[in-house]
Chain A
Amino acid sequence: MEQSHDIQKEVRRYLMLFPVLLVLTFISVGISSLHLGTTITVILILTICVIQGTIATLFFMHLISEKQVVYFLLTMTVFFLSAMALIIYHYYDLPNGGTYVP
Chain B
Amino acid sequence: MDDVIPYTVKARPDTGLYNAKLGIWLFLSSEVMLFGALFSSYILLRLGSHDWPNAAELQNIPLGTFNTCLLITSSVTMILAWVALKENNFSLFRNRLGITILLALVFLCVKAYEYHLKFEHHHFPHDSTYLAIYFTMTGLHALHIIGGVVLLSYHWLRGSVLWKKDPERLTNRVEVGGLYWHFVDLVWLFLFPVMYLL
Query: CB within 8 Å of B: which residues of A?
Result: 4, 7, 10-11, 14-15, 18, 21-22, 25-26, 28-29, 31-33, 41-42, 45-46, 48-49, 52-53, 56-57, 60-61, 67-70, 73-74, 76-78, 80-81, 84-85, 88-89, 92, 94-102
Contacts and interface: CB of A to CB of B under 8 A. Distances in A.
Interface stretch (B99-107, B149-157, B182-190): B182-190
Lowest 3 A-B CB distances belong to which pairs?
A: A98-B48, A100-B49, A32-B197
Contact of A74 (B29, B73, B87): B29
Chain B residues touching A, majority SS: helix
Interface residues of B, number: 51
Interface in B30-48: 32-33, 36-37, 40, 43-48
Contacts, number: 139
A52 B189 contact: yes
B189 A69 contact: no
Contacts of A28: 192-193, 197
A56 B40 contact: no
A57 B184 CA distance: 11
